[in-house]
Amino acid sequence: MSNRSSLAHFLQQAIFIAFNLLFFMTPFIFTWMNQELFEFSKMLFVYAFAVIILGLWSLRMAVEQKIIFKRSPLDYFLLIFLLSQVISTVFSLHPRTSWFGYYTRFNGGLLSTLSYISIFYAMIANLKKTQVQGIISSLLLSMLLVSLYAIPEHFGHSPSCWLITQKFDVACWVQDVQNRVFATFGQPNWLATFLITLIPLNVDYLLREKKWLNRLYLLLVLLSSVSALLFSKSRSGLLGLALGLSFYGIAKLWKSKKNRFLQFKKLSIVASLITLLIILIGTPYTPNFKELLSGQSKILLSPAPAPEIQVGGTPSEEIRKIVWQGAVKVWQRYPIFGSGVETFAYSYYLDRPVAHNLVSEWDFLYNKAHNELLNLLANTGLVGLLSYLTLLGAAFYLGRKSVAILAGLMAMFVANFFGFSTVMSNLLLFGFMAIIVLQNQDQKKQSFNKNDDIKKIDNKENIDNKEYYIYSTIVLATLILLGRVHAIWQADYLFTKGQNAFTQGNYQVGLPLIQEAILKSPKEAFFYDELADNYAQLSIAYANEKQSTASSQLAQSAIESNRKAIELNGAHLNFYKSQARIYIRLGQLDQRLYSYAKQALEKAISLSPTDAKLYYNLALVLEIMGQNEEALAKMEYAVQIKSNYLQARGELARMYFTRNELEKAKEQYIYSLEKIAPNDELVKEKLKIVEASLSAQRQK
């Protein structure tokens, strides 16, 4: 055996192992020392493995001295979709965001799309049809372990908390993970999407398996994954699974003409097992077995009319409807190629419906449309959406014989319709498309025999010294790219560590860490924005300690750092909010800075004209500047567009009171007590003061 054939076979095996590790390990990747614990590190992990796989693929081509690339029936559809993303990035509101994706998420940016497509082509070029089962087996094992990770959370024991705090409880999470489990995904719906995409494959393998031991294993996978899904209480996940499995069952019966009764019997057993779990555990729509026995019922009926202020939060479906309206308006402004890949956080706020002010999450940042199709429509326009749907349609047609995979893709599509894609769902999407292509390849060309590869290569000469330079170059390029991926992660790690130190009052440790993070990622506007706020806080602290020189220097650093953030990303509303906050804070030291705060708020309002909080803050700044009439008008408008704005009504009542418009002040306090906060003691006290003043005024 020649050196070349040995190395070629080793590389082919290494690529197969790399794909198994990628699909098996990605669901488990999360950290607790980054800005975003789950998606950020998952995306970087995919980047790293995409680099490794491309490096191994390049080495294999160099060793075999030929281009190893396979065409697929999806080529043109993938190309059109990719071109739509590229054009949208070129004309984006902020090209850097479109390239990398929204910071801390990254999934969905052009770079991530290139990675997924590269993984697709690497799979069909380097894997054999006979190796597909190995990939699916890795996915099913991963699903089993993720499910076993999630289930204890429902009973108050999170493995993540044990990793983070060495305490096997759920106290490490702000989210109520015991009520809705999320395992290593960080969000119940993301976990659910992963599970429902793979459960149809699990069912298919279970029904086809002949060996009892393997059947027991696959049954354990099914019971565990469905239990974890039910504990996630994901309505979109349950709906997606119901439609996916229904499609699978109908398709299997349709195709099983000779043994349809036997197939129906097997499907009925699986359906009965899933139904039994639903009865035992319950769903967001139905009571569990214990509640049935006790006579309790929690079947979800039509929701009651919502009060102005939502105790416990506005239902997610109500919020989605509002965000969807805004997404459609964004598309109407950018109909062809959208506002830019992953720029929804920038484009939405100009079209943000006024109704968004009345939901419980009214001042949250929305960087997704919470509907994959509308997200694509807003970000990449009609071209992007149609190319995506066409790609899915082509994959569905090509994979018409791969019923279980299509059922999984259908379930994923339903879940994403009520949410958005994640790293794992996109990895599964492109991985499944590659599997469909591999399964449709000619069986005669799919024999995987080590000796076959040797015969192809044995007639070539052994590797000479010059070729090692080529191999070294490929390895070096791979290591450099891996180093760049690590640098992105390390920059975020340093920044997060610095922010945590700063929050704890350890400024001397925190600031150098943040500055080091900026050196590693000098074009990340988010770092400069947060650093600016830190400088402003320190400036006030030094001023309070009578260290005027240091305070002045820090104030200037805050202003310059914020300007740098806006210079790097002038489309981000939050950076103008930060600018206003910094100038308001520093205005305590120099009142001339309030005029700059006013300008920043006016710019923010131009980007988000329905944000009541901006008008509220602008009113307070105008009042400080002595522009009382304009301040009153802005505060009145804040209340007009957000009727349940308790703080704004309180400030408006105060303004009326100082103008001796006591009846108007009284109206604001009464409205607050009747419609917003009936038990607010402070409002009650202020109302008494106004009523006493009115009484005294009448007596005169």
Domain at 658, CATH number: 1.25.40.10
Distances (CA, A) of 32 to 359, 501, 512: 30, 15, 21
Amino acid found at 140: L
pLDDT value for 258: 78
pLDDT for 2 equals: 57
Please tell me the predicted confidence (pLDDT) of residue 217: 97
CA dihedral (485, 487, 489, 492) in degrees, to 10, reads -150
Q: Is residue 667 part of a domain?
A: yes
Task: Report pLDDT for 659.
Answer: 94
Residue 449, pLDDT score: 44
Q: Pick from 414, 357, 354, 350: which is nearest to 378 by CA?
A: 350
| 608-640 pLDDT tens trace | 999 999 999 999 999 999 999 999 999 999 999
**Dihedral (CA of 628, 630, 632, 635) sign:** negative
Asked whether residue 540 is assigned to any structural domain, the reply reads no
**pLDDT score of 298:** 52
Q: Kindly report, residue by residue over 39-62, the tens digit of the pLDDT.
A: 999 999 999 999 999 999 999 999
Residue 24 in any domain: the answer is no
| Count of the separate structural domains present in the chain | 1
Q: Which domain holds residue 669?
A: 634-700
Is 10 part of a structural domain of the chain?
no
Give CA–CA dist 369/380, Å, rounded: 13
Place of tokens 């019971």: 223
CA–CA dist 511, 523 (Å, integer): 18
Closest to 173 (Cα-Cα) out of 193, 194, 192, 159: 159
- The Cα 231–Cα 298 span in angstroms is 16
Domain presence at residue 688: yes
- CA atoms of 489 and 495, how far apart (whole Å): 10
Residue 458's pLDDT is 47
Burial code (b: 16+ CB inside 10 Å, e: under 16) for 113-124 equals bbbbbbbbbbbb
In the predicted model, residues of the chain with pLDDT beneath 70 are: 1-2, 295-312, 442-461, 700
In a domain, 93, yes or no: no
In a domain, 103, yes or no: no
Let me know if residue 652 belongs to a domain: yes
